[in-house]
Amino acid sequence: MDGLDAVGVGPPTLGRSLPEYVALYWRLVGARARSQLQYKVSFALLVIGSALNLLVDLGEILVFFRFIRSLAGWSLPEVALLYGFSSSSFAIAEALAMGFDQFHRNVVHGTFDRTLVRPLGAFFQTFASDLGVRRVGRVGQGLLVLGIAAAWLGVDWTPDRAAMLVVTLASGTTIFFSFFVIGAASSFWTVQANEVVNIFTHGGSFITAYPADVLTSWLRRFVTFVVPLAFINYYPTLYILGRSDPLGLPDWVRLLSPVAAIAMVLAARTVWSLGVRRYQSTGS
Amino acid sequence: MRLYVEVAKRAFQRQLAYRTANLAGLVTNAVFGYLRALIILALFEARGDVAGYDVTGALSYTWATQATIMCIALWGWYDVEETIRSGDVVSDLARPFSYLGYWLARDLGRAAYFFVMRCLPLVAVAVSTFGIPLPSFPLGWLAWIGTLLLATVASFGFRMLVNLTAFWTADARGLGNIAMALVTFLSGFIVPLPFLPPLVRDVCLALPFAAMVQTPSDVFVGKLAGASLLAAAGLQLAWCVALLAACQLVVAAATRRVFVQGG
């Protein structure tokens, strides 16, 4: 796959096919996952901790609905549906992007050199260096809320809605994943400002748990047209609930999540390759 | 005492080295505060009063929790756990001064930095974006800073206990993540504790975690004054003493059986 190789600027790679990459991914990540699973108590604690972290966000929503019947025009199960989409795609993205999580260390210590001399794209190697198996708690919790909310609302799973469900989870995961990659790639310029990316990853996960109707109008345009957080769950959920955009955007906008996801991938890919090209290793 | 003041000063100065990182942190905290405030506004669209908070009160409560986030440092503080894992703790324990006092001084120096460079700028952001009313000068400020100091000490005691479990288990971080996720909620950081069902609320208010966030934030809002302020600060003080005493006992128990890693 030329596409994957082109992302990391490394030595020329032997032409590998997608199935070969998949096999390689599982082999590399499998070793890592097995080592994590060796420490059973640690692993269990991390699973519980990660599930609890997201429950805190859900707790906030539940507490608010003790006092109100609708938040910006959305009922509790409707907000829960939004939350289910955003928390499960965030959790899957976070698990997949685990290799990018502590990536800045490779840049600070110069160990990224090693990645560059291996006969595989730098992006693929970083991607395959870790998988957050312990995030399974978060993923499960998010999907559970999604299921309960859909059942509560009595969503009629017609083929188009079912397809929307899958496409939304895939697009949302891709959008969050791209933010994690951009965050890691920012280390090529400075490792001091990494925290700003949290605005889009953790901040994105926080704000997408609520309907975009709570946002001020400029912020709402920002998360629709600039940083496509609203496509993680808001527009697809409007479609699933059979609603139009309250601000009057045409109905087909609700179907654009995959387009937003592709745009984010392209952006992340550009930032990553620019960063890799800029990398100069450390002194000493 | 001078020694501890010096330790605190060094901890303050250490933070000055991370200027860009701290600026990035300030921006991040401010954006989160803004988003949290928008959700509070949406909540109050439907009604004027929630559990005794009006919209201004709830907004300033939320901004107070957000502004003091780095002073109280509820999450991700594993400085002591790292020294236990690396074995460096031995030289810390062998030093001719109080181990606990050393770390407390260090933490207060760190908190002082974040009060000046993080908390006050965030309060300024809150005032300029949402018109949050400030505590009265000087008494309101004095009460706020005083209860914030006690909150930091209580939080330090709790974080220290979590870190000290590393003497016995390799899972201090796993336990810590669970504890800190719970504390985020139980302290009143996510929503003011009076928003919770009465029974849960009463239990939470009696726990030490309320002393870490709920109390100083309510003082900032102006909900605690006079006798109720004294009672809340007294409870904070009691929790500080209890938590630090617990830390001291744990340190004593740990040093009796300390098994140094790293050789």
- How does pLDDT run across A54-79, given as a tens digit for each residue? 778 899 999 999 999 999 999 999 99
By Cβ distance, the residue of A42, A50, A216 closest to B171 is A42
What amino acid is encoded at A145 in this protein?
V
For B33, the closest chain A residue by CA position comes to A203
d(CA A123, CA A27): 16
Highest mean pLDDT among A4-8, A205-209, B72-76, B84-88: A205-209
Cα torsion for B178, B183, B189, B192, to the nearest 10°?
A: 130
* pLDDT class of A11 with cuts at 50, 70, 90: very low
d(CA B42, CA B246): 42
pLDDT at B170 over 90: no
Q: Tens digits of per-residue pLDDT, A174-194?
A: 999 999 999 999 999 988 878
E strand or H helix at B54, and its extent?
A: strand B53-54
- Chain A residues touching residue B37 (CB < 8 angstroms): none
* pLDDT class of A10 with cuts at 50, 70, 90: very low
Q: Do A195 and B20 touch (CB under 8 A)?
A: no
Interface test with A, best of B185, B193, B196, B213 (most A CBs within 10 A): B185
pLDDT at A49 over 90: no
- Chain B residues touching residue A68 (CB < 8 angstroms): 43, 46-47
Question: ipTM value of the model?
Answer: 0.90
Q: Tens digits of per-residue pLDDT, B115-156?
A: 999 999 999 999 999 999 999 999 999 999 999 999 999 999
- Chain B residues touching residue A194 (CB < 8 angstroms): 21, 24
Task: Work out the mean pLDDT of chain A and round it to a whole number.
Answer: 89
The tokens describing B92, both together, are: 């810390």
Place of tokens 């309101």: B140
Residue A15: the pLDDT is 67
* pLDDT class of A9 with cuts at 50, 70, 90: very low
- Chain A residues touching residue B50 (CB < 8 angstroms): 67
Q: Tens digits of per-residue pLDDT, A120-142?
A: 888 999 998 888 888 888 888 89
| A37 close to B (CB below 8 A) | no
Question: What average pLDDT score do residues A22-43 get?
Answer: 86
By Cβ distance, the residue of A46, A192, A214 closest to B42 is A214
| Contact between A79 and A150 (Cβ < 8 Å) | no
By Cβ distance, the residue of A56, A71, A195 closest to B185 is A56
The CA–CA distances, whole Å, from B1 to B7, B8, B102, B148, B242 equal 10, 11, 10, 22, 22
Residue B203: the pLDDT is 95
Residue A275: the pLDDT is 93
Question: What average pLDDT score do residues B148-174 get?
Answer: 92
3-state helix, strand, coil in chain A (%, to 5): 75, 0, 25
As a whole-number percent, the residues of chain A with pLDDT over 70 amount to 94
